[in-house]
Amino acid sequence: MQRALFAALARRGEAALHQQQQQQQPAALCAAAAAALRPFSTDGGGAADQQQHQQQQQQESRQSSWLYDASLLPPQSSSNDSSKGPPRPPRLSSLAGATSNGAPAPRRRASRAAPAATPKLPLLEALRALRDARAAQLSGSPSQKERPHETVEMHVRLRGVDPRRGDHSVRGAALLPHAVGRPPRVAVFAEPGTPAADAASAAGADLVGGEALIDAIVETKGRNFADIDRCVAHPDLARALARAGRVLGPRGLMPNPKVGTLTSDVARAVRELRGGRVEFRADRGAQLHLPLGKLGAMADAELAANAGALAAAVLAAKPEAVKGGLTRLLSKVDLATTFGRGSVGVDVSSVLEAAGGVRRGGVGRD
């Protein structure tokens, strides 16, 4: 019943719409015919309509192009010079310059002055300048306090080294002639009762243990290893030590033969670590960050000797795949302090001279 009712209403609506369209069609045809015959009429009404249509178009164009309407510009001056046009907007007149002959001047880009290159100082003079600059900072800022544990750091940029390549890895260790800070706490992985374990204990190792110590590190996830600074291992325990790699690796404690911490002579490794052995490795930017010693506890000559020992060790660790001689390996050397601002550039030739003297003296050799 409902479907029949809806169908009847739909048919009725369609019939009414069709009737309305038929009634409007004659009126639309008449209007179109009158518009087509209007230009040919002789009563003058067509000309009036055409003139009205042109005025309407002009008014619309004037409204759409108001930015270029002369009536909106400021009034001209009372000068008799008719060659001058309307004044330019302030933005255009400020950007346009003029030369002496009246021609517009070309726009020039402001160039920044290149910063003056700071001179590189010899090693000893750079250390003195660094010490003087730090003293000036402390005296100029009363809020700062002198820190006795402030370390002098040497930052070295390497030339021709691509750290992304495995054969360009620059890694090693240096035995400094003057110890840096307090002696580190050293743990030795060697089976108790063996000659290696006894020699490590006699050399001053703080902790000596074998597979039982490795199992304890794995079970506790290194909680019993929080106060250990360096680790040395005998080759007999290298395979068992791999189980603790996930714990010791992220902390930088995993023994490695490249730096001399995985060796059969564990007693010598312990003595070197406690006597001032420093390990280094190039970062992703082919740079080395090396500690030289404490600023308040060491003299400039001692810091210079440590810098020479580190430079000699870096030159000795040069990979064979890196092209160029040893003198071209060090591209840039800077000195800085832990809490200071800025750095002091060092002449690379003076660092190479210190490294040559250290090599001749036999310091820094493994």
Q: What is the DSSP letter of 150?
A: -
The residue-averaged pLDDT of 95-118 equals: 54
Residue scoring higher pLDDT (314 or 11):
314
pLDDT of residue 27: 59
In a domain, 248, yes or no: yes
Q: What percent of the chain has pLDDT over 70?
A: 68
For residue 261, the domain's CATH number is 3.40.50.790
In a domain, 111, yes or no: no
In a domain, 49, yes or no: no
Is the same domain home to 148 and 264? no
The residue-averaged pLDDT of 143-153 equals: 74
In a domain, 153, yes or no: yes
Kindly report, residue by residue over 174-201, the tens digit of the pLDDT: 888 888 777 888 999 999 989 999 999 9
Residue type, 66: W
CA distances in angstroms from 351 to 30, 47, 232, listed in the order given: 104, 100, 31
For 202, the 3-state DSSP assignment is helix
Residue carrying structure tokens 């800077």: 334
Is the same domain home to 156 and 286? yes
pLDDT of residue 364: 39
pLDDT of residue 181: 73
pLDDT of residue 363: 41
In a domain, 299, yes or no: yes
Phi-psi region of 19 (alpha: psi -120 to 50; beta: other; left: phi over 0): alpha
Is the same domain home to 325 and 340? yes
Is the same domain home to 221 and 365? no
Lowest mean pLDDT among 84-98, 205-219, 282-296, 306-320: 84-98
Judge whether residue 106 has pLDDT over 70: no
The residue-averaged pLDDT of 213-231 equals: 86
Domain limits for position 237: 184-275
pLDDT of residue 312: 93
Which of the listed residues 275, 310, 340 is the one where a domain comes to its end? 275
Is the same domain home to 281 and 140? yes
Q: How confident is the model at residue 64 (pLDDT cuts 50, 70, 90)?
A: very low
Kindly report, residue by residue over 227-277, the tens digit of the pLDDT: 888 899 999 998 989 998 888 888 888 998 888 889 999 999 999 888 878
Lowest mean pLDDT among 38-52, 299-313, 340-354: 38-52
Q: What whole-number distance in Å separates Cα of residue 364 and Cα of residue 64?
A: 84
Judge whether residue 351 has pLDDT over 90: yes
Q: How many domains does the chain have?
A: 2
Give the global pTM.
0.58
Which of the listed residues 275, 298, 316 is the one where a domain comes to its end? 275
Q: Work out whether strand 207-209 and strand 277-281 pair parallel, antiparallel, or are unpaired.
A: unpaired
Judge whether residue 21 has pLDDT over 90: no
pLDDT of residue 359: 55
Show the CA angle centred on residue 168, arms to residues 276 and 352, nearest 5°: 50
pLDDT of residue 117: 64
Is the same domain home to 162 and 288? yes
Which of the listed residues 275, 310, 341 is the one where a domain comes to its end? 275
